[in-house]
A and B are shown apart, each in its own frame.
Chain A
Amino acid sequence: MSADPIHAGEAITFEAMRLEELIQALISRGYEPIGPTVRDGAIVYDRLSSMQDLPAGWTDEQSAGRYQLKRRRDDALFGYAAGPHTWKSFLFPPHQHLWRAERNGSALHILNNDRRPEPRYAFLGVRACDLSAIALHDKIFLEGQHVDPGYKSRRENLFILAVNCSQAAGNCFCVSTNTGPKAISGFDIAVTEIAQEGKRRLFAEAGTRLGAEMLLQVPHMPAGEADRQQAERVVVHTARHMGRKLDTRALRELLYRNYEHPQWDSVADRCLSCGNCTLVCPTCFCSTVEDTTDLSGNQAERMRRWDSCFTVDFSYIHGGSVRPTTRSRYRQWMVHKLATWIDQFGVLGCVGCGRCITWCPVGIDITAEAAAIRESDSVKAPAEQGRESE
């Protein structure tokens, strides 16, 4: 056991069971641990009180429109991929109280004094794809002309323990989007689950000084070359077994050229415009506001809540929606994710987690839609081509 300080970049290993000590150390420092746990037939993200809440020995089988929990033959702590939850539920909550206002005769007072202190979360088990998604939300809510003060506060107090995936699910394609499976940055600690002599160990690296400090709380050993290589092999193995592929070559230009591609009609035939994809997507950030009053009419409140570009009134302006058809709304979502996002934020909006494919009730696959467009690039819909009459 080493009590020497751990520097960023240095690696250690510790018994998987010792994770409990890390969790307790985080709790004692005022963090609320959030991590994967089994609930309602899925692995979701929720408050953890101890390591026992982790889905040890569970895995998931995912395909288009399908998610199934299965028992593993071993008791791996992180032997599954992404579930229906994303970390945005905590950093960018589905419902947020913004402010209250009071009316006194004709006067209006905005009250901003019930700001409760934001929780200090410790996210345990963040995958590389989700790390990239968090970085994308940072760009939107912290690095633009305006800063979201609630997001800023939650983000600044956040502790992240990332996990390098030991297996990809059937819908994963983070290799295509260059957002995994290895966590490169944006974490306090990154761990890879390895086995040594039948025992579960975690190969861990500190990404920040805070991460290094927390690792010191756990009895550990410096990582040797063999450990490092084993950890590396885990990631390489995962990268080689991606469920899907997205061809990102000049994807932005491809979509900009194909606003009228017949594939949009094809997907519109299948899409229910239910918005599930936007709910489970870790990068989707659209919201709306709700203004309400109490019965007296003298107290008003503004709430912010998640919204989806799949709703008909999302694009409503005096008299009608700019996007009244499912076709245009699906196109808006996909072109935003894979093309206009790049113009807006400099990077792709998709992190290859595959959740939209898993949780789409009709199994629409964004990688397949993109491939279909690429295959018949710039082709006009049959209705637009005159057909020679007999």
Chain B
Amino acid sequence: MIDTLEPIVVQQGFFQGMEEKHIHLITGCARNVRFEPGSVIFREGDAANQFYLIRKGLVALQCAIPHRGLTTIQTLGPDEMLGWSWLLAPHRWNFDARAQQFTLALEFDGACLRAKCDEDHDLGYELYKRFTRVVTGHLAATRLQLLDMYGQRD
């Protein structure tokens, strides 16, 4: 499985610029997964030990609000990284993730990678750099959403 996945991992924009030995380590923690439309990828509160690089499809980050029902906060599509709660303690998901469409993704074993990052700090640095960009990108987008820019005030 490792042989067939490595070229795919290398292709992903997210890992661009990483050294071959790190790609190798990461691929060792990767596997292909698929989700049918409507299926749950992870639930709020569950242990967060994976993360997903979406290759195809659409995933919704959702929150169950008592009187409002299941509310989608954000959706993620191809080439987007799903999940960063695996990085930092307490390693618990903050939201539900549900496939809106048939979704193909690379699933990475977060627990395994955490251990590898502890051993190889260079790997840790490279992954943290990339995840920081993901998180800050989401933060900026969320702030824009908060501004309710289509509302009364421009």
- Measuring CB to CB, which residues of chain A are less than 8 angstroms from any residue of chain B? 317-320
Complex Cα spacing A319 to B154, Å:
7
Query: Nearest residue in A to B151 (C-beta to C-beta)?
Result: A319
**B121 interfacial contact with A, CB 8 Å:** no
Interface residue? B153 (CB, 8 A): yes
Set of chain A residues within 8 Å of B152, measured between Cβ atoms: 318-319
A318 surroundings in chain B (CB, below 8 A): 152-154
CB distance from B141 to the nearest CB of A (A): 23
Interface size, chain B (Cβ < 8 Å): 3
Q: How far is the CA of A317 from the CA of B152 in the complex (A)?
A: 10
Q: How far is the CA of A291 from the CA of B144 in the complex (A)?
A: 38
* Interchain nearest-CB distance for B150 vs A (Å): 12
Contacts beyond the supplied A318-B152, A318-B153: 7 A-B pairs with Cβ under 8 Å:
A317-B154, A318-B154, A319-B152, A319-B153, A319-B154, A320-B153, A320-B154
Tell me the complex Cα distance, A64–B153, Å: 40
Using CB atoms, name the residue of chain B closest to A317.
B154
In the assembled complex, the Cα of A319 lies from the Cα of B153 at a distance in Å of 5
Give, as a whole number of angstroms, the nearest-CB distance from A148 to chain B: 30
Give the docked Cα–Cα distance between A320 and B151 (Å): 12
What residues of chain A lie closer than 8 Å to B154, measured between beta carbons? 317-320
Give A319 to B150 CA distance when docked, in angstroms.
12
Q: Within 8 Å CB of A317, what residues of B?
A: 154
Q: B152: nearest residue on chain A (CB-CB)?
A: A319
A320 nearest CB across to chain B (Å): 6
Can you list 8 A-B pairs with a CB-CB distance of less than 8 A? A317-B154, A318-B152, A318-B153, A318-B154, A319-B152, A319-B153, A319-B154, A320-B153
Query: CA of A173 to CA of B64 in the docked complex: distance in angstroms?
Result: 70
A319–B151 alpha-carbon span in the complex (Å): 10
B142-154 vs A, CB cutoff 8 Å, 1 = contact: the mask equals: 0000000000111
Distance, CA A62 to CA B65, complexed state (A): 70
Residues in chain B near residue A320, CB distance under 8 A:
153-154
**Alpha-carbon gap, A318 to B154, bound state (A):** 7
With a CB–CB cut-off of 8 A, which chain B residues contact A319? 152-154
Within 8 A of A (CB), among B39-86: none
Which residues of chain A are near B153, meaning CB under 8 Å?
A: 318-320
**What is the CA–CA distance of A104 and B58 in the complex, to the nearest angstrom?**
57
Report B119-154 residues with CB < 8 Å from chain A CB: 152-154
A318 to B152, CA, bound (A): 7
Q: How far is the CA of A318 from the CA of B151 in the complex (A)?
A: 10
A322: nearest chain-B partner, CB-CB: B154
**Bound Cα distance A317, B153 (Å):** 9
Q: Closest residue of chain B to A318, judged by CB? A: B154
A353 CB to closest chain B CB (Å) equals 38
Q: Give CA–CA (A320, B152) in the complex, Å.
A: 9
Tell me the complex Cα distance, A196–B11, Å. Answer: 95
- Closest Cβ–Cβ distance, residue A292 to chain B (whole Å): 27
A330 to B140, CA, bound (A): 33
Chain B, range 91-113, C-beta contacts under 8 Å to A: none
A130 and B128 CA atoms in complex are apart in Å by: 66
**Shortest beta-carbon distance from B49 to chain A in Å:** 41
A249–B152 Cα distance when bound, in Å, is 43
Q: Which 6 pairs of residues, A with B, have the shortest CB-CB distance? A: A319-B153, A319-B152, A320-B153, A318-B154, A317-B154, A319-B154
Taken together as a complex, chains A and B put the C-alpha atoms of A291 and B154 apart, in Å, by: 26
Min CB distance B134 to A, Å, is 30
Bound-state CA distance A337–B14 (Å) is 51
Q: How far is the CB of B153 from chain A (nearest CB, A)?
A: 4
Q: How far apart are the CA atoms of A169 and B152 in the complex, in Å?
A: 50
A362→B150 CA distance, assembly (Å): 41
